[in-house]
Amino acid sequence: MDLVKGCLSCLQSPVVLQHMSFVFHPKEKVDDLNNAMKDLMAKKRDIQRELDNPQNRRKLCSNQLERWLDKAGKTEDKVNQLLEEYSKGNCDAGSWFQICYSRYNIGSEAFKLKEEITQLTADQPEIKFTDIPQPKPVPESYILVGKKNQVQH
């Protein structure tokens, strides 16, 4: 009887429940991921629009912002790959074990990617531009006006 109670209490663990949700609710995890991805891409487009603004052409943005855009793009690629895999319907084909395994992989990967998006959103750097300084004029003492004739022998 203690073994049964132990197993039942184990099933109530938040960690176990989370992992079970990957198997029994992969669509919910994928939908959550898709919504988070849409929000991230909206932020990415806003930043890109600001960078492409003609008023900012003579300005530099921070390296952090460029790196964040690169990470967002890579995350978008991973999400699109997962969504494509999910849309193939592999979660509902094959033996019972294959179905559970596929659902678990899709659900857990969707959960991880959503966490990655949440972290990216939290780490989004502020959009700052720095004016590109004008080149300093060359002092007259450094300007070479002409060449001296070389004496030939």
Q: Which residues on neighbouring strands pair with residue 59, listed in sequence order? A: 131
In a domain, 136, yes or no: no
> Which pLDDT band holds residue 82 (cuts at 50, 70, 90)?
very high
Whether the per-residue pLDDT at 138 is higher than 60: the answer is yes
Phi first, then psi: give them for residue 130, nearest 5 degrees.
-120, 130
Q: Phi and psi (nearest 5°) for 101?
A: -65, -45
Write down the pLDDT at residue 26.
Answer: 79
Query: Does some domain include residue 51?
Result: yes
Q: Could you count the other beta carbons within 10 Å of the beta carbon of residue 115? A: 12
Split at pLDDT 50, 70, 90, the class of 25 is: confident
Q: Is residue 117 part of a domain?
A: yes
Residue 42 domain-assigned (yes or no): yes
Number of folded domains that form the chain: 1
In a domain, 98, yes or no: yes
Q: Is residue 83 part of a domain?
A: yes
Query: pLDDT tens digits, residue range 92-127?
Result: 666 666 777 788 888 889 999 999 999 999 888 776
Number of CB atoms found within 10 A of residue 134's CB: 7
The model's pLDDT over 67-80, given as tens digits with 9 standing for 90+, comes to 888 999 999 999 99
Work out the pLDDT band at 86, boundaries 50, 70, 90: confident
Domain that holds residue 92: 13-126
